[in-house]
Structure 1
């Protein structure tokens, strides 16, 4: 049980990133420029998590085709989830012209945090260092999601007290994902653990390519500063990997 509680503690870190983003939405009006910079930073970190830490370990699994298939299924799962969100959006607000409602934005971020918890819980069963690295990498990567979510609720004149409860509730999907990830693969062969990691990696890379980067491009015309933020995010996780791995 001690290892499980450690996994829960680590899984709180990605949720903290979203909570910090929610706090930033209170005193600072989120401009398109600032949000674009944050999204580029988050995209760099997320790609480093996949390319530097996850994929080298995942591809060592035997047989490798199973984890590669799991990676593809993870991407497909995210695409299906996004389509369901868009379907719910059209039903709830057919005249919104593509603008997501606050609850749907919250749901999308919650799904992302759930996958983070799944990844951290699974990684912790392999090694504490891997779980710690995955958790640290998602702290900064989740700030933009929390920022957008709480800024949207703020624009809808939701009371500050309720916004604080909404921000704190990001811990719930993180803990749920960690619990499922940890107890599903605990004591299982390595191929099962690596397959679940590959599944979450597929979700994460699809989030970057289909959500973060296009949204950042829509927010603000890209300049050298956005590019530097992207590279900086990638480098930041590499530093974490070197000193904490």
Structure 2
């Protein structure tokens, strides 16, 4: 239940991001800037809260490399299957989701959130409490994802009630994934935990390049790079405080 609770906190920003867009629709430029900030946050979380920890926990680099490759390939294959079923534009803010399939979009949204939630739950292993830096990274990165996707889904004609069901369901699945991560890794070895961290890092990096960064680059404009660095620095600062 502790893992479930922290997973719920981290993923609750999906509902908050959706609500913000529903109350006050944002321009695509603003959504792009928020996506750039979220991308920087996740890149920093991957580097300092996943890859670095995984590297420190293992003597050989093969565990890290194997985890990164497995995570990237797993997400790539899953995302490819979902794209072919109509979920390719699930995070677009332009309304391209109108040409897709609702079920595939929902599955893709869940796929995007599972790796970070499992790792969030795994940070509780050992009784040291949840990683504040990773929790903040998950919360802050979910916000722009939900804002961009909600803006596009609204333009595509999706009703508000269906959107709340989509994000509410994704929030619950992410919370369950965090609980499962804590339960499954509670008695696991350091090498196994490191492998899971590296797996999540590979999946998250693949997701970033596939869904978030293209949206940021297209709509944020030249300042998007600066905002991405700001997000990176913010998450790095949180990791130092949390450490």
Distance 1:102 1:36, change over 3 A: farther
Residues 107 and 23 (structure 1), Cα distance of their counterparts in 2 relative to 1, 3 Å cut: same
2-side partners of 1:107 and 1:186: how far apart? 28
Q: Give how far 1:42 is off.
A: 0.7
Asked if 1:67 is matched to 2:64, the reply is yes
- Asked if structure 2 preserves the Cα contact closer than 8 Å seen for 1:119 and 1:200, the reply is yes
Match of 2:214 in 1: 214
Distance 1:129 1:45, change over 3 A: farther
In the TM superposition, what is the alpha-carbon distance from 1:53 to its structure 2 partner? 2.1
SS of aligned partner of 2:12:
helix
Deviation of 1:98 (Å): 9.8
Aligned-pair Cα RMSD in Å: 2.3
Match of 2:30 among 27, 34, 40: 34
* In 2: Cα distance, 1:123 partner to 1:201 partner: 14
Give the distance between the partners of 2:147 and 2:97, measured in 1 at CA. Answer: 22
Change (3 A) 1:42 1:151: same
In structure 1, the residue matched to 2:203 is 203
Which piece of structure 1 moves more, 125-134 or 144-153? 125-134
CA deviation after TM superposition for structure 1 residue 18, in Å: 1.3
Shift of 1:39: 1.0
Q: Deviation per CA, 1:111-168, whole angstroms, max 9, x where unpaired?
A: 1211121111122215645533212111111112212333344334444334333332
Provide the residue aligned with 1:83 in structure 2: 80
Gaps of 5+ in 1: 91-95
Q: Counterpart in 2 of 1:182? A: 182
Q: CA deviation at 1:105?
A: 3.1
Alpha-carbon distance between aligned partners in 2 of 1:97 and 1:137, rounded to the nearest angstrom: 26
Gaps of 5+ in 2: 88-95
Q: 1:26 is paired with a residue of what secondary structure?
A: helix
SS in structure 2 of the partner of residue 223 of structure 1: coil
User: Residue 78 of structure 2: SS of its match in structure 1?
Assistant: helix
Asked if 2 retains the 8 angstrom alpha-carbon contact of 1:14 and 1:138, the reply is: yes
Partners of 2:238 and 2:50 in 1: how far apart?
Answer: 14
Cα distance in 1 for residues equivalent to 2:36 and 2:97: 26
The residue aligned with 1:223 is 222
- Are the equivalent residues in 2 in contact too, given 1:102–1:149 (CA < 8 A)? no
